[in-house]
Amino acid sequence: MNEVAINNTAVNENITARRFADLILDMGTFLLASGAHSGRVNSNIRRIALAWGFTVSFHPSFKGLLVTVQNSRDEKDTITLFKESPTHIVHLEVLTRVSHLSWKVYEQGMTIEETEKAFQEIKQMPHYNHWLVAVVVGFACAGLCLFSFGDWQNAIVTWLAAFVGSLVRYKVASLNFNSMISIGFAAFVTTTITGLGSVNGIGIHPEAAMATGVLYLIPGVPLVNGVIDLIEGYLSSAVNRYLFAGFILLCIAAGMMLSITFLGINNFSL
């Protein structure tokens, strides 16, 4: 594999540190926003750097990426740059495609022009259809309701609440409001629908519907990535992810509390 990297370096010997830094910053921040943990971003970037003869110092955070790039063929060609991440929207296919691209650079000797073009194609991939996501989210929450001893009526209410709440979250987010506001609105709407089911006595365990209807809002990716970053030694990134996830949980709780207070429900318990 080292021979492959040497050949790739020869092919791309005219790449400047600034151009390479711009590429890996664009790639790294897009990976972070798409749900990658810091170690995955680091391995993809270093794989390309090794292929093209660069040394990279990598410092990730939740909001962006700081890199220092040094050209191994010219020690004076060194640069340090920072770039903020775009809005965090999980898209796991992006992670797979960027990983494949980094291996193609390493093993097949892709030029930087080919790599830049391929990466732009990845960035232009359409996101998951929000209607389909809402339907699947509804079924997932309905299934959790059944596991929580709710009956089919409770599950139907849960599906409807999660479906509508997911669409509300998408709509509010599309208006460029803060993501926390969209989560709070979604939690309020979802809890209101399941709460109406509780008020009207739909199903044998309406409290199960209320408890599971909002679970699609739980920040699973930041929490999991925070654990991975902590284990791999990216402490600042891990702390940032935990704080972000904690504030999301606070917004969910606030939305639920407002809805429960509005409906006058005083016996919410499992």
Could you read off the pLDDT of 102-131 as tens digits, one per residue? 999 999 989 999 999 999 999 999 888 899
Nearest 5°: CA angle at 43, between 37 and 44?
95
**H-type helices in the chain, by residue range?**
2-11, 17-33, 38-52, 92-108, 112-123, 130-147, 152-174, 179-199, 206-212, 220-232, 235-263
| Mean per-residue pLDDT, 80-91 | 89
pLDDT of residue 268: 53
pLDDT of residue 6: 47
Could you give the CA distance from residue 247 to residue 178 in angstroms, rounded to a whole number? 12
Percent of residues, the chain, with pLDDT higher than 90: 73
Residue 189 pLDDT grade (very low, low, confident, very high; cuts 50, 70, 90): very high
Q: Are 161 and 190 spatial neighbours (Cβ–Cβ below 8 Å)?
A: yes
The tokens for 238 are 């891990």
Residue 11 pLDDT grade (very low, low, confident, very high; cuts 50, 70, 90): low
Q: How confident is the model over 136-187, as pLDDT tens digits?
A: 999 999 999 999 998 999 999 999 999 999 999 999 988 888 889 999 999 9
What backbone phi and psi angles, to 5 degrees, belong to 64?
Answer: 180, -165
Nearest 5°: CA angle at 213, between 252 and 225?
55
Percent of residues, the chain, with pLDDT higher than 70: 94
Could you give the CA distance from residue 142 to residue 164 in angstroms, rounded to a whole number? 13
**How many CB atoms neighbour CB 230 within 10 A?**
15
pLDDT of residue 264: 86
pLDDT surpasses 50 at 87: yes
Could you give the CA distance from residue 165 to residue 185 in angstroms, rounded to a whole number? 8
